[in-house]
Amino acid sequence: MIHLSEHFLKGRRLETLVENQTSYFMNNAAMHVFETHEQAKTVLLKFEQPVLASMIQGKKIMHLRDYESFDFLPGESLVLPANESMCIDFPEAMAKNPTRCLAMAISEDKIDKVLQFMNENMPKDSREDWGIMDYNFHFVNDRGIFQIIQRLLFLFTEDHPSKDIFVDNMLRELIIRVLQSNERKIYSNATLSIKSESRLTEVIRYIRNNVHKSLQVEQLSKIACMSVSNFYRTFKSELGISPVEFINNERIKLAVGLLQDPNRSIKDVYLDCGFESRSYFNRVFKTRQNLAPGEYQSKIKKSRLLD
């Protein structure tokens, strides 16, 4: 989980209790930390540049265009194109437990230069050019992206004569890693790719509301009023992954959040996420996070001790 330093918390000013904004500006990017200290609904926000938003603390409910709304939780990020309107709810924000989110707005000129570098030096196997995403990409931070965001948070707030150079280099790596993650589609962005009128909308909602329970494809196909074979084919066609992959993605997203609590045992976490065995949970988690659950939790504990 991304952490805000005591230096940052003591130095910023709270001028409003809803989406209080603390901003830092560099040559090619601006970093904004938003804090909300009371429950709120339908808060509107838009950036003129492409933005990477990363949850730090608490929970937001995001409403984007005409797609199904979704929970935005710590350990997750969201890439938005320029001038994308967001409508945000804060169902749990309070003074003692504020909702905090980091938004990194990056100049399109910087992104274009990185894309040019990638196309010249890192061509895709498909021979298609790398390009900026023209839609919303919602994903769980892998270890590399998490460390870059944490480092950028430090660099933006540091008083160093060369920090523009440091930030510029970190931004290039961040853009490359995010675009590569999007290309691999390790984490389902189905929240944002399935429109509200789809027959699968109710299935997606059911999975998210019952992710801690045993879920069977046969059960889900009945909710969609389809045969099992047609449901499986339609699901994979619309979302790009199988129903089981989607369920596991949702469970791992939940597990990432639960593992932020150092007092939770691994057994409690995998049972609360709907996994029936620790070995299967370990295998799925490590595939998506490149770390075993215990290693991930230890890393979170260590990073907090270093703050």
Mind listing the pLDDT tens digit for each residue in 104-127? 999 999 999 999 999 999 887 667
Instruction: Name the CATH code of domain 197-306 (choices 3.20.20.140, 3.90.1210.10, 1.10.10.60, 3.40.50.300).
Output: 1.10.10.60
Most confident of 131-145, 159-173, 190-204: 159-173
**What pLDDT was estimated at residue 192?**
44
The pTM for the full model equals: 0.67
Burial status of residue 305 (CB atoms within 10 A of its CB: 0-12, 13-18, 19 or more) = exposed
**Does residue 27 register a pLDDT over 50?**
yes
Integer Cα distance of 34 and 23 in angstroms: 9
- Which of 11, 23, 3, 30 is CA-nearest to residue 164? 30
If you classify domain 6-184 with CATH, what class do you get? Answer: mainly beta
Both tokens of 223, joined, read: 């909710």
Q: What per-residue confidence (pLDDT) applies to 189?
A: 44
In this predicted structure, what is the pLDDT of residue 186?
A: 38
Chain segment 264-287, per-residue pLDDT in tens: 899 999 999 999 999 999 999 988
The structural domains of the chain, with segments of one domain joined by +, span 6-184, 197-306
Question: pLDDT tens digits for 33-45?
Answer: 999 999 999 999 9
**Whole-number Å distance between alpha carbons of 161 and 68:** 45
Rg (CA), the chain: 20
